[in-house]
Every structure is written in C-alpha cells, then in structure tokens.
Amino acid sequence: MKTLFKMDMKNYADSDTRIRRPSARAVIRVADGRLALVYSRKHQYYKFPGGGIRDDEDHAEALAREVREETGLRIRRDSIREYGSVLRLQKSGRQEDTVFEQENFYYTCSAETAAGRQNLNAYEKESGFELQYVHAREAAAMNKACKVQDDFDLVMSARDTATLEIVSGLTPEPSVSMAEFLLKTAVKTNPGPWEQHSRYAAESAGRIAERCPGLDPERAYIYGLLHDIGRKFGISGLAHVYDGYHYLMELGYANAARIALTHSFNLKDIRDYIGKFDINESEQEEIRAFLAEIEYNDYDFLIQLCDAIAKADGIVSLEERMNDVKSRYGYYPQKKWDRNIWLKKYFEEKMQEELYQVVGAGV
C-alpha cells in the first residue's frame, strides 16, 4: 500500500516503550460525492470510520467490523480497494516513557444504503459518534476550526484532516492548532529565542495578508509559525532549513515545507545564506535544485519579509534587523539587503499602507 504521509511527531526518546495498534479505516463515497464519516458531537470533528485491527482479524474483517460498529453500515467486501497508509508516531499523553505507534490503512469501499444500529463503546458514546454524509472539503474545514484540547486527539484529528484534503485533491495544510502544537513540541526539544521570533513573524504575516487580496491570513500566520521549525533538531545554520523542509514534507504539509526552505533565500540562491553551511554537498545540491525549479509566490515573499523584520523581542525596521545580522555574522550581502527593501515596497503597494504601521514595528 502506498504511503500518503507519515505523522511522526518526533517528541519521544528512542528508549521509550512502543505500543503498536494498527487500524483499518474506510473511505466510503456515496453517489453525490459525499463521504460516510463519523462525527463527534462532543468534540465537533469528523473521522473516517474504522479502528484497531485485532490479532485474530485480517484487514478486511477489521474494516467491516469497525464500520458496522461505528456507523451501522455494512460494507461490500468485494468493493474494498487499497487507498493509502499513514504511520502515526506520538509520545503517549497517558503513559510515561511510551510511544503510540499506529499504522493506519485506508481503503475505499462501498456500503449498503441503509444503516443499521451502531454498537459503540463507552468512549465512542461519550464522544457522541454519529454517522453523517459530508463532502470531504467541508469536513476538513470543520476539523480545522475544531478546538481540540488534548494533544493526542489533536494529532489523530490532524491525520484524518490531511487525508480528507488528499481525498479532495488538495495539498494538506496544518490547522492553527496543529501549527501551534508543532511549534510547542519543537521548542521543548530545543528552547530558544527562535520561538518568539517565529511568533512575531507569524503575527506580522497574518496582519499583512489581511490587507492583500488573494492571501489567506490564517495560512500566512501558520507559515510564519512554522518557517523555522527545523530548529527543533538543534542549534544549526543551513541545516535548520533542510531539516524543517523534510520534517514538514514527511507530515504531508508540502506548502508549509516549501516556506521552511524558501524563507532563507530571497534571491533564490543558496550562496546568499548567512550562517554556517552545516549540511553536506548532496543536501546542498537538493536545495539548489529545488530553488531552480520553483517560482516564488506571494507566500514565499511574505515570510521572507516577515523573517527580515522579526527579532525575538519584537518587530523592528528592516535596517535594524539586517544590521543586527551583520553585527553577528560580520557581513550582509548588498543584493540580499536590496531585495528586502524591494519586498517591503512590494507589499506596501499591495496593501496601500505603510508596512511598519500595519505590523506595529518599534521604529
């Protein structure tokens, strides 16, 4: 079965005990294009019907049983087809020094029209599980608006939300809650001023996007939060760009991954990176090839600008930020400097407002 993405939170130790619980989940599409999904009235999110595979079951048996229990639907065994798998790895919030590892196997299938009675366990009853027919994009949007408080459930919901977006033909995007969770767990691994820098960049990106036609303020905010996520893996230079890109790509968030890479190269040239080149030549070549292949869009430009005005203690002018970098590293390429000035003018023209007034810079 093909891998859709890998939701590995990387928030655990290699020595932690692993609890493995594979699952089978059903992608049931009805005639009008809607999906048969399970809705939680308590938590207000949608999930694909399905659950854990017992030791004495094959995948088809588990799929049929779980769908029948959660929805009352009976699936047609001869309609079952592989769709894709998602491996979820996450530190347990319920048991110390334990990792929850779950391979989720998604199958397309059809079901009988009439639904029978559900057979819910205590948790499912308490969550208010019910069968609903919903378009995948609508369900994904509902999930992103849901304020799940428990980190464990948040990642579970993010897994199905990303799968819903893939089913819809969309590139998965993290919700604000998921982006906040990813930043929070990253900072636990590598605390530092980069967290506040990321938050200031995110706030500025959201404010600018609100004033620019065609830009989504929520997406801009999320990209700002995650642009430096590669610092999760330690104190580094160019490695944080490479690591952040691959971490988000593995999670299925290709657009956010792109920003984690492009934010450091406003000239689309790896040579203008300011800092240590602490990745090998083949990894550098991967970055060069990526930059050569893409055309920057307004989200690339926006996070490049916000990265260039955000310090750990607030928003400052481009000149102050660039001079700060110059004082720490001993140089700042003139072409990179000039490009940042161009980015400021570019967004001021789009907003028809002065940048520093919009972002509240202390200038």
pLDDT tens per residue, range 165-224: 999 999 999 999 999 999 999 999 999 999 999 999 999 999 999 999 999 999 999 999
**% the chain with pLDDT above 70:** 99
DSSP state of 70: H
Could you give the domains of the chain? 3-167 (3.90.79.10), 176-359 (1.10.3210)
- pLDDT score recorded for residue 67: 97
Candidate ranges 46-55, 139-148, 322-331; pick with highest mean pLDDT: 46-55
- pLDDT score recorded for residue 96: 83
- C-alpha distances (whole Å) from 347 to each of 211, 212, 213, 221, 290 are 9, 8, 11, 16, 25
What angle in degrees, to the nearest 10, is found between the helix axes of 238-251 and 281-293? 70
Asked if 152 and 90 touch (Cβ cutoff 8 Å), the reply is: yes
What angle in degrees, to the nearest 10, is found between the helix axes of 254-262 and 217-226? 60
- Rounded average pLDDT over 9-13: 90
**% the chain with pLDDT above 90:** 87
DSSP letters spanning 206-256? HHHHHTSTT--HHHHHHHHHHTTGGGGG-S-SHHHHHHHHHHHHHHT-HHH
Question: Which of left, alpha, beta for 268 (phi over 0: left; psi -120 to 50: alpha)?
Answer: left
Asked if 324 and 330 touch (Cβ cutoff 8 Å), the reply is: no
- pLDDT score recorded for residue 151: 87
- pLDDT score recorded for residue 130: 95
pLDDT digits 0-9 by tens, 271-292: 989 999 999 999 999 999 999 9
Structure tokens at 227: 């642009």
Query: Residue 363: is its pLDDT beyond 60?
Result: no
- pLDDT score recorded for residue 97: 86
Q: With 0-12 CB in 10 A as exposed, 13-18 as middle and 19+ as buried, what is 169?
A: exposed
Phi and psi at 109, nearest 5°, equal -165, 170
Asked if 19 and 101 touch (Cβ cutoff 8 Å), the reply is: yes
CB-based contacts of 27, cutoff 8 Å, min separation 6: 35, 48, 83, 106, 107, 108, 109, 167
Q: Indicate the pLDDT class of residue 115, thresholds 50, 70 and 90.
A: confident
- pLDDT score recorded for residue 362: 58
Query: Residue 328: is its pLDDT beyond 70?
Result: yes
Query: Residue 37: is its pLDDT beyond 90?
Result: yes
HEC assignment per residue over 182-194: HHHHHHHHCCCCH
Instruction: Give the pTM.
Output: 0.95
Structure tokens at 336: 């990179």
Q: Are strands 3-8 and 81-91 parallel, antiparallel or unpaired?
A: parallel
- C-alpha distances (whole Å) from 344 to each of 179, 307, 327 are 26, 12, 22
